[in-house]
């Protein structure tokens, strides 16, 4: 009888561990950037982008991150390490926004991390917006 209970408990723990590894996790981050006196902004983002004009002088980026093969702990660690932090650079009146850390591939347990992103970006009214042609974007004025 003890052997059966032990075996059953072991199978249940194995099943729980398998489910934890295969779960999908999601987190939404909100970050702000100041475009300064630039007249235009460009975004180099992968995934759907929704642009909304607003009356504040800052750019607010709401990033939804989905990890398809990782845990919440891994996602929190990557956020703390700055993997999903946008950076802005002024270049002759154009404020170029990207997330440079995404260029590096991350592996967890020998598997490449599967990530997907979507963005809602609030831009100051009157600031010209440039997006890559391949970006799936909508623009609300």
Instruction: Tell me whether residue 28 is in a domain.
Output: yes
DSSP secondary structure of 93-115 = TEEEEE-GGGGS--EETTEE--E
For the chain, the domain total comes to: 1
| H or E segment to which residue 120 belongs | strand 115-124
| H or E segment to which residue 10 belongs | helix 2-21
Instruction: Tell me whether residue 97 is in a domain.
Output: yes
User: Which pLDDT score, from 0 to 100, does residue 18 have?
Assistant: 46
The yes-or-no verdict on residue 129 having pLDDT over 50 is: yes
Instruction: Tell me whether residue 1 is in a domain.
Output: no
* C-alpha–C-alpha distance, residues 57 and 111, integer Å: 41
Domain containing 93 equals 24-140
Instruction: Tell me whether residue 15 is in a domain.
Output: no
Report the predicted TM-score, pTM, of the whole model to 2 decimal places: 0.80
Instruction: Tell me whether residue 71 is in a domain.
Output: yes
Instruction: Tell me whether residue 7 is in a domain.
Output: no
Instruction: Tell me whether residue 106 is in a domain.
Output: yes
Q: List the one residue out of 138, 137, 115, 129 whose CA is nearest residue 39.
A: 129
Instruction: Tell me whether residue 50 is in a domain.
Output: yes
Tens digits of residue pLDDT in 68-120: 999 999 999 999 999 999 999 999 999 999 999 999 999 988 999 999 999 99
Tens digits of residue pLDDT in 28-68: 999 999 999 999 999 998 889 999 999 999 999 999 999 99
Average pLDDT score over the chain: 86
| Confidence band, pLDDT 50/70/90 cuts, at residue 10 | very low
User: Which pLDDT score, from 0 to 100, does residue 8 have?
Assistant: 44
Q: 24-34 burial, b if ≥16 CB within 10 A, otherwise e?
A: ebeeeeeeebe
């Amino acid at each position: 009888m003890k052997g059966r209970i032990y075996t059953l408990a072991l199978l249940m723990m194995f099943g729980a561990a398998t489910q934890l590894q295969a779960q999908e996790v999601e987190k939404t981050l909100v970050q702000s950037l100041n475009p300064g006196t630039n007249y235009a902004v460009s975004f180099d983002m992968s995934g759907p982008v929704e642009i909304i004009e607003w009356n504040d002088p800052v750019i607010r980026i709401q990033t939804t991150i989905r990890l398809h093969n990782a845990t919440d702990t891994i996602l929190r660690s990557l956020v703390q390490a700055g993997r999903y932090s946008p950076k802005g650079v002024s270049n002759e009146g154009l404020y170029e926004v990207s997330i440079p850390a995404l260029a590096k591939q991350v592996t967890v347990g020998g598997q490449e991390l599967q990530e997907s992103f979507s963005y809602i970006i609030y831009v100051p009214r009157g600031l010209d917006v440039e997006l890559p042609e391949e970006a799936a974007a909508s623009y609300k004025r």
